[in-house]
Each structure stands twice: as C-alpha cells, then as structure tokens.
Chains A and B, each alone.
Chain A
Amino acid sequence: MNNMSLAEAYLCLDLAPGASPLEVERAFRRKKALYAESTLATYALLDAEARLEKLTRLETAYRRIREDRTRESAPPSPSADWGASAPDPAVSPGLFLKSRRESSGLTVGEVANRTKISPMKLIQVEEEKYERLPAPVYLRGFILSYARALGLPDPKQIAHFYLLRYRERVGDP
C-alpha cells in the first residue's frame, strides 16, 4: 500500500515536511480521533467506506513518514525505532524516558493520567533529580509504570538502569 509519495503523506496529515517527531505523532493521533467512527464531528460527513479509506490513508501516511525518517538516521538500535540521537538508557535513563515520551506524542500530563504518578514526580524522574526521588522500592514501581505507559519493550531493563544510576548518585539507603 505504500506507493504514497512523501509529499502526499505530509499533505494527508496536514504537516509541513519539517515537522518534529512530536508534531507528527500529535497530528496522526488527532486525525485518527477526528475520523474515528464514534466521533460526532465527522458524523454524516463521510459514509462508512469513505471513513475506512480515510483511516487507512492516515496509517499509510504515518508509516511513510516514519519510514523516511528512520532511514536517514544512524543504524537502528534495539531500544529506539525512531533512530536518530535517542539517549542511551544505560547512561541517561531519565532523558531516555523523556525522549520516548516525546516520540510517542505524549505530554507529561497525559502520562500522569495513565500512571497516576504526579506530573512533578515524572519530571523529576526525567530530569534525573535523584535526591528528590523516593526510595528504590517505590522508585522501581514508578519507572516500571512509566515504561509500561510508553509501551516500551523491556520496562524491567529501564528500571534496572535507572536504579543503578540512582545508587551511584545517592548511595544505598
């Protein structure tokens, strides 16, 4: 299905070619929500067939754009499917979580809603403010929740890396 040109893909999502990964994610989500069958705002504008076709085109456009961008970056590493300059989770686990959050088009608030962890705590996790974070037994739970909310493939590994860095900085309580 991917005979859609890159230009058509950007047009389909109403994006400029220079859009950031965050903007691409947000546009895709917004358009998908707009044309969902249950959405009042597009009721009766499109029939079922046209709606389905629109949703399919949106998926195709999104994949086309991601395909183009991943191709441009460094060889894909196991932990990043966007490629390009994703922080190393072993070195900067907080930054890594933040970059994955942004690639998913999520705000801190949205992650807070999903995990029930306060936005402030999430920011402290991202900024690696180790002294402000709770004890490891709770921290591990936070990191696992956060990683799962982002749909990361190996939450336990991220938690492991995070706690290693925590112990390096704060020591063992």
Chain B
Amino acid sequence: METAGAPGKTPRVWAVGGGKGGVGKSVVTTSLAIAATRRGRRCILVDADLGGANLHTLMGISGSRATLADLFRRQASSLSEVLLPTPVPGLHLVSGAGSLLDMANPHHAQKLKVIRQLFTLDADDVFLDLGAGSSFTVLDFFLAAREAVVVVAPLPTSVENAYHFLKAAFFRRLKQALTQAGALQLANQAMEDKVARGIRTPRDLLAEIGRVNPAAGEAVARDLKTLAPRLVINQVRREEETLLGPQMAEACRDFFGLEVDFLGSLRYDDKVLAAVQSKRPVLLAYPQSSFAAAVDGLVGRLLHPEGGQP
C-alpha cells in the first residue's frame, strides 16, 4: 500500500499520448489511473481529448455530466467544479466534451489556465489522456505535464504516429529551449550548413550548438532533459514484439538524445475488448486478468522507478 501524499502537495501530472487512435491509449490511461488508485494514491483522470472524449464510456459513466467544455464556456471556473465520482473509490474523472462545437474552440489563454489548474488539483496523481494527433493543443498538454507516457502498438502505423508525435513534441520543446537560451539563430545557421557540419540528427544539432556555444548548449540540454517520456508497448501478440520497446528507446536516444524509459509491454488480452464492449473498466470487470496484472506491474515501476526521481 503506497502512502498517499500530504494534502496541498502538487500532484504528479502524467500526460499519456501516442499519436492517432487505435493503440489503446485511453484504455491504458484509465487502467493506469485505476491501478494507482488501488495502490492507495488519490487520483484524477482527465480526458483532454477535446472533441473526442471516451473516458466516461470506458469508466461506465453515462447520462449528462459536467465536462471540460463547461470550463471553456465559463459555466464553471475551475477543474475541481467539474470533477465526477467514478465506480472506483478514490478516483475522480474530468470528462471531455463530445464535439468540438461543444468546446467553442478554446483560446490559448484558456488552455494555459486549464494546464495550470492541473497542478493545483487536490490529488496525488493526475492522469491526462491526450487526444490523437500532434496538434498544438495536444503538444502543449504533453510538454506542460511533468511526466509523459507514450503508448505504441506493434504496428508500422502506430510506430510512425509515435515518431510523428515525438518529433513534434521534441521540436516544439527544442524551439522553446533555444529561444530561452538565445540560441535560435545559432541553430538555424547550423541547420543551413548541416551537411558540412555533419548534422544528421537532432542529437547532432545539439552537439554542434554545444560546440559553438557551450553555455547555450548546456542550457538547452538541461531543458530537454525534462522531456523524458516513458514508453508502453500495448497489444503485444508475438514474442518478437517485446523487442520493440527497448529498440525504440535506443533509437530515440540515438536520434534525439532523449532518455526514453521503456516501462513495459502489455500483452493483447481478450478481456479488454469484452470490458470495453460492456462499458466497464477492465480492472474492475476482470481484476484477475493478465492485463490487470501487467498494468499493476507498470504502475509499480511508474510510481517507483529504480534509483529514479521522486
């Protein structure tokens, strides 16, 4: 049993992304939240899939309900006003809206407000299900969260989407970091001359910036270190697919210079489909399933990385 954090402490915000649909991101997000709650943490699930909300369905919550849209339409002023109880004691849900029209497309300032509020929620852990794709909204949520999780399925389409997503997130963060360090022009110049300078990857670019301006290079590197996503491979069916996680982690290190931590693989489990069809969370409907056990293992590692950060 984990000890819950002291009240008033900032929650850990976990943003779960991975590009376009089909990989099981929402199922993984809800399952992680339930498993963490079961271990004694006070958790909040947030459906940030603006216009494509699913979490309420996966949790078996029906009927009219308060959603994030209420916040954007100024009918509620804080996230805590739109919290919904769930079938899991200790776990609350901030539901998303069903359509973009409902959302009245939030301004940047409104999005920032929601992001800021995530960190003032009264909880130990906040699990944020990001939308599909790599729009600025999705990226901003992903980058603002202190912890990031990327879910990938062993399919070329999913791997492709994951890299689109990671590249978008990385470059957005990189641009912010370069601007902050006053090295944006330096980077542009390096890229104009990339062949001569042997710049083949973003990692090479960072090395070159460090060579020309060590102080800026160090500042940028420190900034980028905060982007350390965890990787979850979902819907594994064949033995060789378990190689995907460690290999992608290595490729990300080579290409981006990013420390991607492979959290683990989740094997395909029929029970997941059955649970979704019956509109019940897998961990409640099939607590003895191998999926439930595997998710619990992931959450254990997520909450307590070996020799890792707090």
- Which of A's residues lie within 8 Å of B, judged by CB? 14, 30, 34, 39-46, 50, 53-54
**Number of residues in B with C-beta < 8 Å to the partner?**
16
Residues of A within 8 A of B156 (CB): 40, 43-44
Stretch of B52-60, B142-150, B179-187, B240-248 that contacts chain A: B240-248
B278 to chain A, nearest CB (A): 32
Residues of B within 8 A of A45 (CB): 163, 251, 255
Chain B residue nearest to A42 (CB atoms) is B251
Cβ contact within 8 Å between A34 and B251 = yes
Contact for B159 among A14, A40, A46, CB less than 8 A:
A40
Given the known interface contacts A34-B250, A50-B200, A53-B200, the answer about A44 and B163 at a Cβ–Cβ threshold of 8 Å is yes
Cβ contact within 8 Å between B163 and A41 = no
Residues of B within 8 A of A41 (CB): 159, 243-244, 247-248, 250-251
Is B11 close to A, CB under 8 A? no
Q: Which label, helix, strand, loop or mixed, suits the secondary structure of the B interface?
A: helix
- Which of B's residues lie within 8 Å of A, judged by CB? 154, 156, 159-160, 163-164, 200, 241, 243-244, 247-248, 250-251, 254-255
A34 to chain B, nearest CB (A): 6
A49 to chain B, nearest CB (A): 10
Residues of B within 8 A of A46 (CB): 255
Number of A-B contacts (CB under 8 A): 37
Residues of B within 8 A of A40 (CB): 154, 156, 159, 241, 244, 247
Residues of B within 8 A of A34 (CB): 247, 250-251
Task: A34 to B247: give the CA distance in the assembly, Å.
Answer: 7
A15 to chain B, nearest CB (A): 13
Task: A151 to B241: give the CA distance in the assembly, Å.
Answer: 30
Starting from the known contacts A41-B251, A45-B251, 16 additional A-B residue pairs (CB-CB under 8 Å) come to A14-B254, A30-B250, A34-B250, A34-B251, A39-B247, A40-B241, A40-B247, A41-B250, A43-B160, A44-B156, A44-B159, A44-B164, A45-B163, A45-B255, A50-B200, A54-B200
Residues of A within 8 A of B243 (CB): 41
Chain B residue nearest to A14 (CB atoms) is B254
A–B Cβ pairs within 8 angstroms, 14 of them: A40-B241, A40-B244, A41-B244, A41-B247, A41-B248, A41-B250, A42-B251, A43-B159, A44-B156, A44-B163, A45-B163, A46-B255, A50-B200, A54-B200
Residues of A within 8 A of B160 (CB): 43-44
Task: A16 to B251: give the CA distance in the assembly, Å.
Answer: 18
- 6 smallest CB-CB distances across A and B, nearest first, come from A41-B247, A44-B160, A41-B248, A43-B159, A43-B156, A42-B251
Task: A110 to B35: give the CA distance in the assembly, Å.
Answer: 39
Chain B residue nearest to A39 (CB atoms) is B247
Task: A39 to B255: give the CA distance in the assembly, Å.
Answer: 15
Residues of A within 8 A of B163 (CB): 43-45
Task: A54 to B248: give the CA distance in the assembly, Å.
Answer: 16
A80 to chain B, nearest CB (A): 31
Task: A30 to B246: give the CA distance in the assembly, Å.
Answer: 11
Task: A120 to B82: give the CA distance in the assembly, Å.
Answer: 65
Residues of B within 8 A of A42 (CB): 247, 251
Residues of A within 8 A of B159 (CB): 40-41, 43-44
Residues of B within 8 A of A53 (CB): 200
Residues of A within 8 A of B251 (CB): 34, 41-42, 45
Task: A87 to B160: give the CA distance in the assembly, Å.
Answer: 48
Residues of B within 8 A of A44 (CB): 156, 159-160, 163-164
Residues of A within 8 A of B248 (CB): 41
Residues of B within 8 A of A39 (CB): 247
